[in-house]
């Protein structure tokens, strides 16, 4: 599988990245064996970039990823994790973390901490769960309400770690484009992970993508299917878009794209998977996967040929 550099760093990622939120039991439980099978299938398919976070299953995704990578040649793969949330014992568990989206016991709890000390503690804890002595990429996770602190404290803390050689590339990971654009303009980051805002159906992040290209900063395009809307060949009413039922206008736009895909003998999910990678600024498309079958399906979508006429039909 082809690899691309992250900005001006020496870090290289495969064009398809394995997002680990589903193996952190996002929405429903996945067994250890199913998670291991998914990660093994990804490795067999040539995927060498794996994205995780403490948030995913209260550390479960990091633990499962680390177990699957144990024994693999360390120089052969790249891991990104995220900082800003510390995982601590929960003084008042209710039994489940499903309120936060993960089907795991809530014996642990997340505590936001975007301070310099919190950034370092978060990374140390992640390395312990992963069983690694380093990760290549560290992203500040969803700092929507602490943007000033992110710019003045969190990013400088990551720059220190990068200068010390502890990590190879730093940035932010968010579900919106406006705040990352400010981070890009005001700090020295190598990479932006943008979830759901540079997709076939939602191109609102175009200004950020353009700015990344101008500055030589790489974009990691996450959630190319927008929570499921673009997974099917024909998006049906009730299909999810950004964690909830798609609004009528978004559903209509997706269905128009599906009609264009059919007219040009390609599938909507093929277009969705490959759309972001057409931009030179995008280094990888990161997809959450929970099973070996999903891995194989997504790898096939990435490899499927798409004509220039088909792209022209959905470029508007």
d(C-alpha 178, C-alpha 164), whole Å: 30
* Neighbouring C-beta atoms of residue 12, cutoff 10 Å: 17
Q: Angle at Cα 110 formed by Cα 288 and Cα 134, nearest 5°?
A: 60
Q: Name the helix (H) or strand (E) containing 83.
A: strand 78-83
Q: Name the helix (H) or strand (E) containing 99.
A: none
* Percentages (nearest 5) of helix, strand, coil residues in the chain: 40, 20, 40
Q: What are phi and psi of 10, to 5 degrees?
A: -90, 0
Closest CA to 284 of 137, 130, 75: 137
- Of 27, 49, 56, 243, the catalytic one is 56
Our answer to whether residue 56 is catalytic in this structure is yes
Q: Name the helix (H) or strand (E) containing 192.
A: strand 191-195
d(C-alpha 223, C-alpha 227), whole Å: 7
Residues classed as catalytic: 56
């Amino acid at each position: 599988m082809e690899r691309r550099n992250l900005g001006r760093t020496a870090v290289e990622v495969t064009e398809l990245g394995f997002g680990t939120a589903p193996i952190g039991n996002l929405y429903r439980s996945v067994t250890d064996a199913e998670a291991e099978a998914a990660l093994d299938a990804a490795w067999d398919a040539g995927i060498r970039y794996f994205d995780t976070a403490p948030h995913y299953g209260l550390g479960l995704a990091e633990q499962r990823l680390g177990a699957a990578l144990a024994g693999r040649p360390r120089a052969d793969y790249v891991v990104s994790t995220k900082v800003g949330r510390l995982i601590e014992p929960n003084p008042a568990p209710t039994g489940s973390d499903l309120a936060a989206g993960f089907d795991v016991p809530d014996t642990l709890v997340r505590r936001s901490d975007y301070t310099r000390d919190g950034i370092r503690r978060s990374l140390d804890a992640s390395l312990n769960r992963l069983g690694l002595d380093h990760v290549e990429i560290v992203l500040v996770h969803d700092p929507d309400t602490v943007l000033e602190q992110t710019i003045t404290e969190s990013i400088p803390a990551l720059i220190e770690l990068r200068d010390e050689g502890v990590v190879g590339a730093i940035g932010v990971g968010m579900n919106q484009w406006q705040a990352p654009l400010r981070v890009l303009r005001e700090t020295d980051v190598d990479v932006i992970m943008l979830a759901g805002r540079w997709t076939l159906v939602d191109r609102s992040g175009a200004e950020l993508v353009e700015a990344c290209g101008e500055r030589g900063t790489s974009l990691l395009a996450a959630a190319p299917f927008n929570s499921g809307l673009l997974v099917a060949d024909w998006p049906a009413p009730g299909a999810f878009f950004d964690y909830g039922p798609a609004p009528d206008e978004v559903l209509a736009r997706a269905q128009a794209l599906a009609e264009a895909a059919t007219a040009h003998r390609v599938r909507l999910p093929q277009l969705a998977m490959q759309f972001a990678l057409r931009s030179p600024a995008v280094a990888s498309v990161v997809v959450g996967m929970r099973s070996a079958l999903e891995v194989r399906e997504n790898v096939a979508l990435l490899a499927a040929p798409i004509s220039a006429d088909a792209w022209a039909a959905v470029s508007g």
